[in-house]
Structure 1
Amino acid sequence: MNIVYRAAELLITSPGCNYDVMATNLSLLMLNKQVSQDEYSKLCTLMNEQQNKVSNETQAEA
């Protein structure tokens, strides 16, 4: 597994992840060929899942 991929995965799943910044960073990682297009797609899916999870938890608390 690509170490850059694993680092991005850890950042995405960490509390307080800024998803807007992370989305930009993922695009840059792919453009610089630090992650493959397949890895980029997987990370985007993971980020969407995490963002939805955080949104659902926030709504449940309200």
Structure 2
Amino acid sequence: MLSEYSLVKSLKDVPDKGVKKGDVGTIVHCHTEPREGYEVEFLDKDGYTKDVLTYERCELEPLSES
């Protein structure tokens, strides 16, 4: 399981939210029920929140040890 505040890379495109495969985000919340999932915040180039999206573990690549 990944942990909050870990940096992760998106392994999928979410074009309607402006997130591309390979974009880096920060886990802001972890879910364990009904299954493992993560809320990931993505920032724009100016440091403002682009969106917070829900991901399953298989859709993320960790960039730091968690």
Q: Which category describes the TM-score, using the shorter chain as reference length? A: under 0.3
Higher normalized strand content (fraction of residues): 2
TM-score by length of 1: 0.26
TM-score where L is the length of structure 2: 0.26
Structure of greater Rg: 1
